[in-house]
Amino acid sequence: MKESLGAKTWAVPTPVWVVGTYDDNGRPNFMTAAWGGVCCSSPPCIYVSLREATYSHGNIVSRRAYTVSVPGEEYWREADYMGMASGRDTDKVRDTELTAVKSELVDAPYVDEFPLVLECRVVEVVKIGLHTEFIGEILDVKADKDVLTDGAPDTQKIRPLLFGTGDRGYHTVGVRIGDAFTQRRPPAP
């Protein structure tokens, strides 16, 4: 018998994404977002959901662009810091000693040290409640060569951070257990 836990945001796990934006002075800012995911295959789109109170929210509204940089597990402390401090009060690029690279495709920076980057232009903005969902069309995906297998990002090589919404902790990915889209028949009993 399952226990009812109430109306919570306890879908587990979520990604740990670092959203890159420029402020009105052209200064790069990075904030951590766990409320994000893929929302369309064609055109390829992702979303990030940000509270209006974040500095990044205003930056995205002004520039209509953002990047998502996916940190490897070794960067969990930097990701956590970028989810605690605000670009309104401090320069998180300086504080973390990460490198902000200007995207050539969209008006936003990305984190050079992180292995996977998605560059997005905003195509829809949906105010839901506390959060505003910014749907971004992916104009390009950039990845370090050493995290690719057959030209595609390899989860086992990226070792992306995961967020446990219920336990409020950072997790790493486990092992690859099977090939997707292969089971045309029910599993044998």
Ligand X SMILES: Cc1cc2nc3c(=O)[nH]c(=O)nc-3n(C[C@H](O)[C@H](O)[C@H](O)COP(=O)(O)O)c2cc1C
Which residues lie near ligand X (CB under 6 A)? Answer: 16, 29, 31-35, 49-51, 54-56, 80, 83-88, 163
Strand order, beta sheet including 162-164 = 14-15, 162-164, 169-171
Which of 99, 149 has the CB closer to ligand X? Answer: 99
Q: How far is the CB of 169 from ligand X (least distance, A)?
A: 9
Instruction: Give min distance, CB of 83 to ligand X, in A.
Output: 3
Q: Which is nearer to ligand X, 31 or 158 (CB)?
A: 31
The Cα–Cα gap between 119 and 176 comes to 27
Tell me if residue 109 falls in helix, strand or coil: strand
Say if CB 89 and CB 73 are below 8 A apart.
no
Per DSSP, helices labelled H in the chain are 55-63, 76-82, 92-96, 155-158
Q: Closest approach of Cβ 89 to ligand X, in Å?
A: 8
By beta-carbon proximity to ligand X, the closer residue of 91 and 149 is 91
Q: How far is the CB of 174 from ligand X (least distance, A)?
A: 19
CB 68 within 8 A of CB 36: yes
Angstrom distance (rounded) from CA 55 to CA 117: 21
Residue 22 CB, nearest approach to ligand X (Å): 12
Nearer to ligand X, 21 or 103 (CB): 21
How many residues make up the chain in this entry?
189
Round to whole Å and give the CA distance between 44 and 139.
8
Position closest to ligand X via CB? 83
Nearer to ligand X, 47 or 143 (CB): 47
